[in-house]
Amino acid sequence: MRNKTTYACQSCGHQTARWLGRCPGCGEWNSLVEEAGVVPQKTARGIAGSGPVPVTEVAAAEEERYSTGLGELNRVLGGGLVPGSLVLVGGDPGIGKSTLLLQAASAMAGSAGRVLYVSGEESVRQIKMRAQRIGALYPDLLLMAETNMAMVEKAIEEVAPMAVVLDSIQTVYHPDVASAPGSVSQVRECTGILLRVAKNKGLPVFVVGHVTKEGTLAGPRVLEHMVDTVLYFEGERHQTYRILRTVKNRFGSTNELGIFEMRGAGLAEVSNPSELFLNQREQPVAGSAVVPSLEGSRPLLVEIQALVCPSGFSVPRRMTSGVDYNRVALIMAVLERRVGLRLSAHEAYVSAVGGVKLDEPAADLAIALAVASSFKEQPLQENLVVLGEVGLTGEIRSVAGMDKRLQEACKLGFKRCLGPPLDKQTAALGIIDYIGVQSLQAAVETAIGR
């Protein structure tokens, strides 16, 4: 019987019987590619189970986790690697995904048991060169260069490793699927095989995924739905620091952050990232404010810098880096309306130092004071951190995790904190000299002056 040909969208996986210029599922143009149907297998295998069981009769057990040997990776995974989990790691080309997973694989091979590292992009000699550079030479670290998913599954059966790394999902193919590697059908089929192997054997599996030029994971969105955890490895290629961010995690928080430094011998963990983001801050200057941000359970002190200058154009230019553009525009409108700063004829440039991205509302007050400081050309008070959410009426709202933020600021040597009024429980801690303000105008007058 002749296989039925369909057209599948390479962005969302939507299938149609004929080619269309625009995908009906996601609206992308020219994303439909012709694919042959999947040849039905003789024996269909699924995840092993014992049938429906009442939730009250399921035996509860302590959550077991494996250490990856990297504390920052353990943090973003929620405390370690859960047996049977499927973890997807994405990032720009050359950012360090393969180096990160090879270091984790070598650490697990040196302490826990056999680890199988499968690469569809490099030969075993090329992987050995990287392993020598980062010191990942362990006999229990098994290397394999293969793109046939059936051969990879067979190797897992024969070797019986305690963990598997596949680099990458876009390079492998299954012979029963008559489409090219990286297509929607191949990615879905190969990921399904890895998911079944992981669940049936209780085997943690790492999968590397390519990203598009927009920065999203390549392939259908079903790939992110099938896996248990999605991690993004971020950073500028001309900088040495890398940030590992959790996007999805069935076994932990999605707000955790891991920070690494790229060195000649591989990735080194950054134990105190606050010092990293403030290492070149010496004397107070106009347009600078420090905010104690909270990423998951980790407090980070980040410097916000702003530059405000008169514009020679009818529409002033506004640019941001590391902070949301629309949020900055909103805060500048509140400054002009509620505080009286005439910013409509001025250009504004706002940046979060160190390449970190801040998207929590606690950074609102720091952005506002940095812009006001640059506009007035007066620095903020020395040894001062600021935090708080700014409302449209100019009020300063409270944020979560005040005790952790204040402890981190005190540890880094800051003497005062400006923010919303504290509750009685946090105020009783007496961690730092705290100044509570109700409005943005009062905050500007306190930190900068009239």
Q: Which residues are annotated as a binding site for ATP?
A: 91-98
Q: Residue 248: which of 229, 224, 221 has the closest Cα?
A: 229
Q: Which residue has the tokens 């007496």?
A: 430
3-class state of residue 287 by DSSP? coil
For 197, other C-beta atoms within 10 Å of its C-beta total 20
Instruction: For residues 173 and 186, give the distance between their C-alpha atoms in angstroms, rounded to a whole number.
Output: 6
Q: Name the binding residues.
A: 91-98
Please provide residue 291's backbone torsions phi and psi, each rounded to the nearest 5 degrees. Answer: -120, 130
Residues 6 or more apart whose CB falls under 8 angstroms from that of 142 comprise 114, 115, 116, 117, 159, 161
Distance of CA 240 to the CA centre of its chain: 17
Nearest alpha-carbon partner for 100 in 111, 109, 89, 114: 89
**Own/partner pairs, 424-429, CB within 8 angstroms, 24+ separation:** 426/402, 429/403
Report how far residue 359's alpha carbon sits from residue 96's, in angstroms, rounded to the nearest whole number.
24
CA-based diameter of the chain, in Å? 82
* CA 84 – CA 132 distance, rounded (Å): 29
Would you tell me how many other CB atoms lie within 10 Å of the CB of residue 177? 21
Cis peptide leading into residue 168 (ω within 30°):
yes
Q: Whose structure tokens read 């030479």?
A: 137
